Amino acid sequence: MTKSFFPNSAIELTFISPRIGDTTLTQLNANINNLRDFFSENNCEVDLKIIANEEFKSSILIPLCNLTDNIADESELFIRAVKLWKMTEINPGRQNRIRRFNNLAPAQAQVNENLAELRPGFIVKTRLYDLLKSGNLSNEEVSNLQDAAYCRRTFGNLRYPVLKLTDAGRNDNHGRSRYYADDISIRNEHYFVTNDWYDRNMNSLLQYLAEHNI
């Protein structure tokens, strides 16, 4: 059908999403490959690609947000939303987020001082997700992160296990969602990551990331 509208032009189709879970992304890539085969068999010059997760952040979100610094007119809802996000997510003036890391090397301590200015959820969805998906955690540690008592001790009284098998669902006993919707894959098992993070968990979370060189 696209060739009916653009018979002499190469076509580029891009699927864009800020966050796609590992399972969904695997299925989407398989469908993309099927579409490539279909277009190729029908002599259609179509380039299909996906921009999501880290690529979405680096290719779309950060450049777009940087453009708002030069826009004075805040009449557009998106511009106001981005500026509010910048004010709340990264704000050097919020002294209650300043942490000291006396047991860390100076370079890592400085990194953590900078990270302490971010909201907990942002660090979880970026740094902690990177660690969990890296494959560097031992099987024992993955098991520990599913244990409520261990997570409470390790992450400053965190109320829920960091990891939960997707088969168990995202809700607590009261039907409230306590885990992010996008799952991650660790050694062929799929997990949800808890979204129940607060300022009180920050110091322990950053210490944990530093101990794992993240």
Threshold 0.75, pTM exceeds: no
Give tens-digit pLDDT for 43-62.
Answer: 777 888 888 888 877 777 77
In a domain, 78, yes or no: no
Instruction: Give the pLDDT confidence score for residue 69 in this predicted structure.
Output: 57
One domain, residues 136 and 207 = yes
In a domain, 11, yes or no: yes
Count of the separate structural domains present in the chain: 2
Q: What is the DSSP string of 83-120?
A: HHHHHHHS-TT-GGG----TTS-HHHHHHHHHHTTS-H
Give tens-digit pLDDT for 57-98.
Answer: 777 777 776 665 555 555 565 666 665 555 544 444 444 444
Q: SS3 of 179, please?
A: strand
Domain residues for the domain of 9 are: 2-59
One domain, residues 111 and 200 = yes
In a domain, 89, yes or no: no
Which of the two residues, 174 and 88, has the higher pLDDT score? 174
What are the residues facing 164 on neighbouring strands? 192
Q: What are the start-end ranges of the H helices in the chain?
A: 2-5, 22-41, 54-56, 62-67, 77-89, 106-115, 120-123, 129-133, 139-144, 148-154, 202-211
Q: What percent of the chain has pLDDT above 90? A: 34
Instruction: Give the pLDDT confidence score for residue 209 in this predicted structure.
Output: 92
